[in-house]
Amino acid sequence: MNNVVVVGSQWGDEGKGKIVDWLSEQADVIVRFQGGHNAGHTLTINGKVYKLNLLPSGIVRKGTLSIIGNGVVIDPWALIDEMKRISEQGIEISPTNLMIAENAPLILPIHSRLDIIREELKGKNKIGTTGRGIGPAYEDKVARRAIRVCDLFDEKIIIQRVDNLLTHYNPLFKGMGQEAINRDELINQIKDIASKITPFVGVAWKRLDEAHKKGEKILFEGAQGVLLDIDHGTYPFVTSSNTHAGQASAGAGVGADKLGFILGITKAYTTRVGSGPFPTELFDEVGEGLAKRGHEFGTVTERPRRCGWFDAVLVRQVNKTMGVSGMALMKLDVLDGIEELKICVGYDIDGKEYDHYPASTELQAKAKPIYETMSGWSESTYGCRDKSKLPKNAIAYINRIEELVETPVAVLSTSPERDDTILIQDPFK
């Protein structure tokens, strides 16, 4: 099987964009299979920075087909804006290199409005949503009232779908003391954007089946990280979709037997954006140093990321639930110059030692990390492209992570640049 699924093994922001772009040199088709424009993938190519939200990372590579799968919730206005911005950076986007799945649900202005109102009402108990309507759009999908991409071809269907939506939303907004939705305005907004989206619409599952039959290499691109998965993440501080590798099958429309190599993108330390538990979070100069050297600010929100030591317990748990074949260990260079490194190997919860992260929110809040300490290195690893040239202590750190998470490192990244990547095992072979 010569397909690869790229997923984040932590709370997102692991560096998936770079690895997808790097792997896309071998890929024929690249498909996004979940999430929405709350995802932020930053690519740095020859010093030029591309920031993507909905577009698959392969869009920057000529000769590659990018597909936005049915598991993605699509804000059509945000997508058109993103396409325009990326086109202005010299990237050509047309129906020949971009396909949108006909059965993908849409994010509408009412979704982002509801998202923001809900967060405001929660006060100090905010989840930390981006306010972009992702959650409400997924709710409509599950409730079978979503407007989907295929509906954009028929104005009568658009009107019917909007009327159905408003039987739900207007009473809801009224109950929260908010103004009702302007029906005609919403219908006109959707009709206006439809003609810009429909040229890119296609039968994604069929195109992927054809690619498989031809022996083409497919790269499945996940968003966020598995610790934000609606089932396997730190619930309720999670996203509204399954970020799990298995979602690549349902969210793209391919058989699970066609997924191939599961590559878990894993940062050499840990970060998190927004609210929620974070056992190894640092509040000292070391944490500040990681944030500064790692440029830890959210691609979408620009919020500073919380930083902490590598949590081997969480990554091992994630890798086992997904069946990760190998890891891409990212941002090793950010640890340069730290005299002493720590790795979380367990938790102390009310005096009891845990070798896993429990599902209970109450227990998660009490989890205190049990650390193993290792010597750091003073030499620079930035831009290194040969594992044998890494400092001895850096190699020892990598080896120890592999042992603790019970997963081999297949790829090492030592800078944001595409070529500053060390290949240990080719996921496509």
Neighbouring residues of 291: CB distance < 8 A, sequence distance ≥ 6: 304, 305, 307
As given in the structure block, the two tokens for residue 400 are 């120890």
Point out the residues that are catalytic.
13, 41
The whole-angstrom separation of Cα 58 and Cα 31 is: 9
Amino acid letter, residue 423 = L
Are residues 222 and 6 in contact, defined by beta-carbon separation less than 8 angstroms? yes
What does the DSSP 8-state code read for residue 295?
A: T
CA distance 75 to 160: 19
Residue with tokens 């049990």: 370
Name every residue whose Cβ is closer than 8 Å to that of residue 352 and which is 6 or more positions away in sequence.
none
Please report where in the chains the tokens 């989840």 appear, as a residue.
Answer: 127
**Which residues make Cβ contacts (< 8 Å) with residue 274, sequence separation at least 6?**
127, 128, 129, 237, 301, 303
Residue 13, by phi and psi: left (phi above 0), alpha (psi -120 to 50) or beta? left
Contacts of 248 (CB under 8 A, 6+ apart): 5, 7, 31, 33, 220, 222, 254, 259
Assigned token pair, 137:
């759009």
Non-local CB neighbours of 316 within 8 Å, separated by 6+ positions: 404, 405, 406, 407
What would the two tokens of residue 143 be? 């409730």
Where helices occur in 50-203 by DSSP H, the ranges are 76-87, 109-122, 134-142, 155-175, 183-197
Which among 160, 163, 174, 110 has a CA at the least distance from the CA of 136? 110
